[in-house]
Amino acid sequence: MLIPEEELKSTISDFIFIYPKIFWMTFPTKQKIKGLSQTLNLQFKKNNYYIWNVGEQRYDTSYFHNQVIMFINLFCE
């Protein structure tokens, strides 16, 4: 069962809804990574989502069932 969009917005203010099933989120700091990952894992289940990390920092992807594609330094040249 999917969490209603309004409930997700109020639960995780670090998500911006771009299009259904496409979100932007802030960098998952150590303080926020558990909440972000729990919400995504509950909403979309394991292997039903991917995160594209286009930032400059790496983080522990195991919280997201290693469903993270790293694009580190690809756009920074």
> pLDDT, tens digit, for every residue of 1-48?
456 666 655 555 667 777 777 778 888 888 888 888 888 888 887 778
Tokens of 59: 């983080």
- The structural domains of the chain, with segments of one domain joined by +, span 1-8+23-77
With 0-12 / 13-18 / 19 or more C-beta atoms within 10 angstroms meaning exposed / middle / buried, residue 71 is: exposed
Q: In whole angstroms, give the CA distance from residue 54 to residue 41.
A: 21
- β-sheet bridge partners, residue 70: 53
Residue type at 58 in one-letter notation = R
- The whole-number pLDDT of residue 46 equals 72
What confidence tier does 62 reach under pLDDT thresholds 50, 70, 90?
A: very high
Pairing state of beta strands 15-19 and 22-25?
A: antiparallel
- The whole-number pLDDT of residue 9 equals 55
Q: In whole angstroms, give the CA distance from residue 54 to residue 33.
A: 17
Whether 74 has a pLDDT exceeding 70, the answer reads no
